[in-house]
Amino acid sequence: MNWLELRDFEVRQGDFRLRIPELRLSAGQMVAVLGPNGSGKSTLLSALAGLRNYRGTLLLGGEDLRTIPEKERYRRLSYLPQGGHLGLPFEVFYVVLTGRYPLLSGRRYTEADHRATARLLKLFDLEALGGRLFGELSGGERQRVLLARALNREAPVLLLDEPFNAVDLRHQHLFVRLLRSYVRRKEGLCVTVLHDLGLAVKYFDRFLLLKEGSLRADLGRSELSETLLGEVMGVEVKFVEYGGERLLSIDLSREGGRA
């Protein structure tokens, strides 16, 4: 089953144009969106979340995104934008709880919502921070809270824009494993914008390479090549096998080095 399906998809923003002729993202996949700054990664993600005007076709779970009512749409997908902020004071527990807003049937969060939130806080090592104000936290802690909030919705499709910004190394690996098991368990889909190639190569199944608004490559794990990766990212990439694992060696490419 395809969770997301794009055909003749185009998003314009001022002079910038993002075009994707065809793309299908199916259940159970961890998809990394890679590319340099300004390549359209965030634009792609927010468009997939239904927050931008687009031309062409965008299907969510086989249905036209435009025809799915908002609440239903956001039960199916959960979007973590970059640089999320909060203008008013709230406790961490409540911030994570609000992730379940689309699941509300009445006007209050239920006991089950509270239990799920408590479980998630534990999973994200945030239990001790539950009663603190979101504004009091450090940048990395805030990012962890927002990630937990995104997962709390239990939506099958996760759209995460640089979810590990400012998160410490240990928690990055912890969370990315958590995401993997989440996607497996839900038969879901996780589309993540990343800058850490090492993390991407280690944990993700599929790679979308974006440059200047167009999809340069859509590769499986085994198809990933040093040259393609290097060309899109503007660096020299070398794969190094170590202990049965593929590691990356990265250097700045010299201008015109490939020619």
Partner 1 sequence: MGSSLAPRLRPGNRRELLALGGLFLLLGLIFGLAISHGAVPLEIFHLDETGRRILLEVRLPRVLLAGFTGAALALAGLYFQYVMQNPLADAFTTGASASSALGAVLALLLAGEKLVLPAALGGTLLGLLAVFRIASLRGRLLPVTMLLAGIVVNTFASAVISLLKFLAEDSLASIVFWLMGGFQNATYARVGFLAGAVFASALYGLLRAPALDLTAFDDETALSSGVPLYRLRRELLLAGALLTAVSVAFSGIIGFVGLIVPHLLRLAGFLRAGVLVPFGLLFGAAFMMLADLLARTLLPQGQELPVGVLTSTLGGLFFLYLLLKRKRELYELA
> 99 or 230, CB closer to partner 1?
99
29-34 and 206-211 beta bridge pairing: parallel
Q: Which residues bind partner 1 (CB under 8 A)?
A: 46, 49-51, 70-71, 73-75, 77-81, 83-91, 93-94, 98-99, 101-102, 104, 107-111, 114-115, 117-118, 121-122, 127, 130-131, 133, 135-136, 146
Q: Write down the least CB distance from residue 146 to partner 1, Å.
A: 8
What is the DSSP annotation of 140-169? HHHHHHHHHHHHHT--SEEEEESTTTT--H
CA 21, CA 135: separation in Å to the nearest integer?
A: 42
Q: Write down the least CB distance from residue 107 to partner 1, Å.
A: 6
Q: Write down the least CB distance from residue 247 to partner 1, Å.
A: 35
By CB neighbour count within 10 A (0-12 exposed, 13-18 middle, 19+ buried), where does 86 fall?
Answer: middle
> 37 or 105, CB closer to partner 1?
105
Q: Write down the least CB distance from residue 210 to partner 1, Å.
A: 19
Q: Write down the least CB distance from residue 10 to partner 1, Å.
A: 19
> 108 or 254, CB closer to partner 1?
108
Write 222-228 long-range contacts (CB < 8 A, 24+). 227/258
> Which residues are registered as beta bridge partners of 252?
235
> What 3-state DSSP class applies to 127?
helix
Q: Write down the least CB distance from residue 231 to partner 1, Å.
A: 31
CB atoms within 10 A of CB 146: 23
Non-local CB neighbours of 222 within 8 Å, separated by 6+ positions: none
Q: Is the dihedral of CA 194, 200, 206, 210 positive or negative?
A: positive
Q: Write down the least CB distance from residue 129 to partner 1, Å.
A: 9
> 150 or 200, CB closer to partner 1?
150
The backbone torsions φ and ψ at residue 165, rounded to the nearest 5 degrees and listed phi first, read -55, 125
> 115 or 184, CB closer to partner 1?
115
> 167 or 224, CB closer to partner 1?
167
> 92 or 197, CB closer to partner 1?
92
Non-local CB neighbours of 126 within 8 Å, separated by 6+ positions: 92, 96, 141, 144, 145, 148
